[in-house]
Chain A
Amino acid sequence: MLGGVQTLLLASLAGRMYQLQVVESDRYKTLADENRINMQLLPPPRGRIFDRFGRPLAVNQLNYRLVIVPEQAGDLERSLVAIGLLVQIEQRERERVLREAQRKRNFVPITVRENLTWEEVSRIEVNAPDLPGTMIDVGQTRHYLSGKEAAHIIGYVGAVTEKELAGDPVLALPGFRIGKNGAEKVFESRLRGKAGSRQVEVNAYGRIIRELRRDEGQPGDDYVLSIDMGLQEYANARIMHESASAVVIDVHSGELMALVSSPSFNPNSFTTGISQNEWNALMTNPRFPLTNKAVSGQYSPGSTFKMMVALAALEGDHINPNREIFCPGYLDLGNRRFHCWKRGGHGRVNMYTGITRSCDFYFYEVAKRVGVDDIAAMARRFGLGEKLGIELPSERNGLMPTRDWKLAVYGVPWQKGETLVIGIGQGFVLATPLQLAVMTARIANGGVAIAPKLVREAQRVGKRLPDLREPFPSMGLSAAHLAVVQKGMLDVTNDPRGTAYRARIEEPSMAMAGKTGSVQVKRITKAERERGVVKNEDREWKDRDHALFVGYAPIDSPRYAVSVVVEHGGGGSKAAAPIARDLLREVQRRDPARRGPEENIPLQTTVSA
Chain B
Amino acid sequence: MSLWDRVSQINLVLIILICLPALIGFAMLYSAAGGEMEPWATRQIIRFGFGLGIMFVVALVDIRFWLKSAYFIYAGAFLLLIGVELIGDAAMGAQRWVEVGPLQLQPSELMKVALVIALARYFHSVSTEDIKRILILIPPLILILVPAVLVLRQPDLGTSALLVISGTVMLFLAGIRVWKLGVAFAGLLGAIPVAWQFLREYQKTRILTFINPESDPLGAGYHILQSKIAFGSGGLFGKGFLGGTQGHLNFLPEKQTDFIFTMLAEEFGLAGGIALLLLYFILMAHGTVLSLRCNSQFGRMIGMGIVTTFFLYVFINMAMVMGLVPVVGVPLPLISYGGSAMLTLMFGFGLMLNAHIHRHVQIGRRINNLRS
Interfacial residues, chain A to chain B (CB-CB below 8 A): 2-3, 6-7, 9-10, 12-14, 16-18, 20-22, 24-25, 27-29, 31-33, 35-36, 201-205, 209
Which of A13, A20, A27, A36 touches B315 (beta carbons < 8 Å)? A13
The residue of chain B having its C-beta at the shortest distance from the C-beta of A34 within the complex is B229
CB of B324 within 8 Å of the partner chain = yes
Let me know if A2 and B232 touch, CB within 8 A: no
Let me know if A22 and B229 touch, CB within 8 A: no
- Residue from A3, A13, A20, A36 having most chain B Cβ neighbours under 10 A: A20
A201–B249 alpha-carbon span in the complex (Å): 9
Let me know if B280 and A10 touch, CB within 8 A: yes
Q: Mark interface residues in B78-110 (1 if CB within 8 Å of A CB, else 0).
A: 000000000000000000000000000000000
Let me know if A2 and B319 touch, CB within 8 A: no
CB of B203 within 8 Å of the partner chain = no
Q: How many residues of B are counted as interface, with CB atoms below 8 angstroms from the partner's CB atoms?
A: 39
- Extra contacts, 19 of them, besides A3-B288, A29-B233, A203-B251 (Cβ < 8 A), are A3-B285, A9-B311, A10-B280, A13-B277, A16-B319, A16-B322, A20-B231, A20-B265, A21-B232, A21-B270, A22-B236, A25-B235, A27-B232, A28-B232, A32-B229, A32-B230, A32-B233, A35-B246, A209-B249
- Kindly list chain B residues whose C-beta atoms are within 8 Å of the C-beta of A209: 249
A29–B277 alpha-carbon span in the complex (Å): 23
Let me know if B251 and A17 touch, CB within 8 A: no
The residue of chain A having its C-beta at the shortest distance from the C-beta of B311 within the complex is A6
Chain A to chain B: the 9 pairs with minimum beta-carbon distance, closest first: A28-B232, A32-B233, A203-B249, A204-B250, A21-B270, A29-B233, A204-B251, A31-B229, A25-B235
Q: How far is the CB of A35 from chain B (nearest CB, A)?
A: 5
- Kindly list chain A residues whose C-beta atoms are within 8 Å of the C-beta of B274: 14, 17
Q: How far is the CB of A314 from chain B (nearest CB, A)?
A: 79
A32–B235 alpha-carbon span in the complex (Å): 12
Instruction: Name 7 interchain pairs, CB-CB below 8 A, sorted by A.
Output: A14-B277, A20-B228, A25-B236, A35-B245, A35-B249, A36-B249, A204-B250
Chain B facing A: main interface SS? helix
A202–B273 alpha-carbon span in the complex (Å): 27
Q: How far is the CB of B270 from chain A (nearest CB, A)?
A: 4
* Count of inter-chain pairs, beta carbons less than 8 A: 104
Chain A facing B: main interface SS? helix
Let me know if A21 and B231 touch, CB within 8 A: yes
Q: Given A7-B281, A14-B277, A36-B249, do A21 and B173 touch, yes or no (CB 8 Å)?
A: no
Q: How far is the CB of A5 from chain B (nearest CB, A)?
A: 9
Q: How far is the CB of A607 from chain B (nearest CB, A)?
A: 82
Let me know if B270 and A17 touch, CB within 8 A: yes
Let me know if A21 and B288 touch, CB within 8 A: no
Let me know if B319 and A13 touch, CB within 8 A: yes
The residue of chain B having its C-beta at the shortest distance from the C-beta of A9 within the complex is B315
Let me know if B270 and A13 touch, CB within 8 A: no
A166–B50 alpha-carbon span in the complex (Å): 64
The residue of chain A having its C-beta at the shortest distance from the C-beta of B237 within the complex is A21
Q: Mark interface residues in B306-329 (1 if CB within 8 Å of A CB, else 0).
A: 001001001100110010100000
- Kindly list chain B residues whose C-beta atoms are within 8 Å of the C-beta of A14: 273-274, 277
Chain B stretch 255-283: residues in CB contact (< 8 A) with chain A: 265, 269-270, 273-274, 277, 280-281
A10–B228 alpha-carbon span in the complex (Å): 18
